[in-house]
Amino acid sequence: MEKFEYKVVTFDTTGFFGGNVETRQVETQLNLLGDDGWEMISSTSTNQSYGASKSIVCIFKRRKDQ
């Protein structure tokens, strides 16, 4: 039976009202996680106010070594 482990990573947004995403920073971190075998299975944003995103929450999984 396959077994998996999971990781949750949160990326905060910037700007006075939030909502600005540092795409290069996120991309770099995602590539590092991918190199370590993590696969993103879900992502969502958390709202701050008036629809601005406070953060982006990403969920990853990878197979556990048995």
Say what the pTM is. 0.81
Q: What pLDDT is stored for residue 56 in this prediction? A: 87
Query: Which is nearest to 10 in space by CA: 56, 60, 61, 59?
Result: 56
The pLDDT, as a whole number, for residue 15 is: 74
Cβ pair 54, 46 in contact under 8 A: yes
Domain coordinates of the chain in residue numbers?
A: 4-63
Please tell me the predicted confidence (pLDDT) of residue 66. Answer: 67
